[in-house]
């Protein structure tokens, strides 16, 4: 039997859906964004948002098996070291989850410069991130 638990449901989506089958539990976490005036600040708050969702389900970053990252106006020479520095602070230095990082030109959610539907950032902020994570 499959059991589903909806964590922080909103209009049209939930922040996390916990699926239990027998002795196994899988978390599906909606895309998250962070606040801040630059990529580093946004990356930190994005990881904090993910950490909150994991904690709500008695999980940690050690449980994450797949992570997708989308960065608007991605410049690998500048942005990748920033992203990796913050990721290391939250995930450590080994046993990373399977990951995909995609640079996107712009984010279409609600015609805002941000990449997800969750928050309204200041329109002057040039760098945004959206994250998804799956844990089991």
CATH number, domain containing residue 27: 3.30.1330.40
Q: How many domains does the chain have?
A: 1
What crossing angle do the helices spanning 76-91 and 39-56 adopt, rounded to 10°? 30
Mean pLDDT along residues 104-118: 51
Could you list the residue range(s) of the whole structural domain that residue 112 is in? 2-135
The answer on pLDDT for 126 being more than 50 is: no
Looking at the chain, the whole-number percentage of residues with pLDDT higher than 70 is 77
Predicted local confidence at residue 78, as pLDDT? 94
The residues, any chain, with a CB within 8 Å of residue 60's CB and separated by 6 or more, are: 51, 54
Output 107 or 19, whichever has higher pLDDT.
Answer: 19
């Amino acid at each position: 039997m499959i059991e589903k638990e909806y964590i922080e449901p909103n209009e049209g989506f939930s922040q996390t859906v916990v699926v239990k089958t027998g002795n196994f539990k899988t978390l599906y976490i909606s895309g998250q964004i962070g606040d801040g005036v630059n990529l580093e600040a946004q990356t930190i708050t994005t990881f904090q948002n993910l950490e909150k969702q994991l904690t709500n389900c008695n999980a940690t970053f050690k449980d994450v098996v797949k992570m997708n990252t989308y960065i608007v106006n991605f410049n690998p020479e500048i942005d990748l070291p920033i992203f990796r520095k913050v990721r290391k602070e939250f995930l450590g230095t080994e046993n990373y989850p399977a990951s995909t990082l995609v640079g996107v030109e712009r984010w279409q959610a609600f015609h805002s410069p941000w990449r997800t539907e969750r928050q309204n950032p200041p329109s002057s902020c040039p760098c945004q991130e959206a994250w998804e994570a799956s844990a089991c």
